[in-house]
């Protein structure tokens, strides 16, 4: 499971369409299983695709939508009846085969699109933000289902999303893109713990890494919120807070149940601390923030690249 991650307009969907053959590459090559497919028609690339809009035919039943591709390829009915039965059971659609898309929920429509991709028995499945139209609870359920299906079937999936939670929870490998280029590629834990730039540090993580000013004008400092510890200062709150890393003023407190996110203000800087449970800090309170040196990262202020990042 490889996930193309990044903000809107960074080139994720364009990259997916290039792989599928729906766009032509201006230069470079696209290889699948060591075979150059750059100039090969989409139908000959051995790829299935799930679109953001599901792309279901409203006048066809669920069963007819699932096996549509097999019929187009003129496969005999005996070849697809068992496949339909098996795939419908796999994605939980056995009781809905005679319904039409308008009679299904968003999650069920997504399952139909998935079933259509699975029944084609292609080795690669491309997915373009397939969960963006679902509510938060259903997105969580479908993330688990898609990941479980991918592992069970042994299928290679290339999945596009701008949601870093989807990427972190589903991917074997994340390709983080920015302005048409790859910012960093690696496992979710690598991008989280070993960011190559301040962009990666801020994009991965909820809340994102703090990137704040340094004593050196050519550098920024970075530290994850969960590594920041806070202590109340004895003196009364000051109107002009000192630079972060020493003192700050509590600006916001977000209670999330298992933990709380406390945000400090000091001049132009903001620093978030993720602390366990319900915290007793109050707005406007003066606090000191500290963390151990090994948890701090340094970034070049002009390029954003991490200083001393391993090659």
Two structure tokens written together for 20: 């599928």
Average pLDDT (192-208) is: 94
8 A C-beta contact, residue 62 and residue 104: yes
| CA 101/CA 117 separation, integer angstroms | 16
CA angle 237, 239, 241 (to 5 degrees): 80
Assign domain 2-193 to its CATH architecture: 3-Layer(aba) Sandwich (3.40)
Residue 72 has pLDDT above 90, yes or no: no
| Domain ranges for the chain | 2-193, 207-300
Residue 37 has pLDDT above 70, yes or no: yes
Note the pLDDT tens digit of each residue in 54-68.
788 999 999 999 888
Average pLDDT (230-250) is: 65
Query: Looking at the domain that runs over 207-300, which CATH code has it been given?
Result: 2.40.50.140
8 A C-beta contact, residue 82 and residue 55: no
Q: Which of 79-88, 124-133, 216-225 has the highest mean pLDDT?
A: 216-225
| CA 23/CA 68 separation, integer angstroms | 23
Q: What is the DSSP letter of 197?
A: B
8 A C-beta contact, residue 122 and residue 69: no
Q: Characterise 196 by phi-psi region: left (phi > 0), alpha (psi -120 to 50), beta (else).
A: alpha
Residue 75 has pLDDT above 90, yes or no: no
Q: Which of 29-38, 210-219, 242-251 has the highest mean pLDDT?
A: 29-38
Residue 182 has pLDDT above 50, yes or no: yes
Average pLDDT (66-74) is: 80
pLDDT at res. 70: 77
Rounded to the nearest 10 degrees, the angle between the axes of helix 106-119 and helix 77-90 is: 140
pLDDT at res. 240: 47
Average pLDDT (282-311) is: 88
Categorize the per-residue pLDDT at 85 as very low, low, confident or very high, splitting at 50, 70 and 90: confident
Residue 138 has pLDDT above 80, yes or no: no
Residue 255 has pLDDT above 90, yes or no: yes
What average pLDDT is seen over the chain? 88
8 A C-beta contact, residue 78 and residue 71: no
Q: Which of 26-30, 72-76, 113-117, 166-170 has the lowest mean pLDDT?
A: 72-76
Average pLDDT (287-299) is: 90
Q: Which residue's structure tokens are 């699932």?
A: 66
Compute the chain's Rg from CA coordinates.
Answer: 24
Categorize the per-residue pLDDT at 310 as very low, low, confident or very high, splitting at 50, 70 and 90: low
Categorize the per-residue pLDDT at 142 as very low, low, confident or very high, splitting at 50, 70 and 90: confident
Residue 237 has pLDDT above 70, yes or no: no
Q: Is the dihedral of CA 220, 221, 226, 228 positive or negative?
A: negative
Categorize the per-residue pLDDT at 226 as very low, low, confident or very high, splitting at 50, 70 and 90: very high
pLDDT at res. 241: 45
């Amino acid at each position: 499971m490889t996930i193309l991650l990044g903000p809107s307009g960074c080139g994720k969907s364009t990259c997916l369409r290039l792989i599928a053959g729906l766009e032509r590459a201006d230069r470079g090559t696209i290889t699948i299983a060591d075979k150059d497919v750059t100039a090969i028609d989409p139908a000959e690339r051995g790829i299935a695709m799930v679109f953001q809009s599901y792309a279901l035919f409203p006048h066809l039943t669920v069963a007819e939508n699932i096996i549509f591709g097999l019929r187009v390829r003129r496969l005999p009915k005996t070849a697809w009846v068992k496949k339909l039965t098996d795939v419908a059971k796999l994605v939980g659609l056995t009781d809905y085969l005679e319904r039409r898309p308008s009679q299904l929920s968003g999650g069920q429509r997504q399952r139909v699109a998935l079933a259509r991709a699975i029944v084609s028995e292609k080795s690669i499945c491309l997915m373009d933000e397939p969960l963006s139209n679902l509510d938060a609870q259903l997105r969580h359920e479908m993330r688990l289902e898609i990941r479980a299906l991918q592992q069970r079937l042994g299928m290679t999936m290339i999945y596009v999303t701008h949601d870093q939670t989807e990427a972190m929870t589903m991917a074997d490998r994340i390709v983080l893109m920015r302005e048409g280029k790859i910012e960093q590629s690696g496992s979710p834990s690598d991008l989280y713990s070993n960011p190559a730039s301040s962009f990666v540090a801020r994009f991965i993580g909820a809340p994102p890494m703090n990137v704040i000013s340094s004593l050196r004008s050519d550098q920024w400092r970075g530290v994850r919120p969960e590594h920041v510890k806070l202590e109340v200062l004895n003196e009364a709150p000051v109107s002009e807070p000192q630079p972060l890393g020493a003192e700050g003023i509590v600006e916001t407190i977000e209670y999330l149940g298992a933990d709380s996110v406390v945000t400090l203000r000091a001049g132009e800087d903001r620093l978030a601390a993720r602390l366990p449970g319900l915290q007793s800090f109050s707005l406007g309170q003066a606090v000191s923030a500290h963390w151990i040196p090994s948890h701090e990262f340094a970034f070049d202020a002009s390029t954003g690249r991490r200083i001393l990042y391993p090659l």
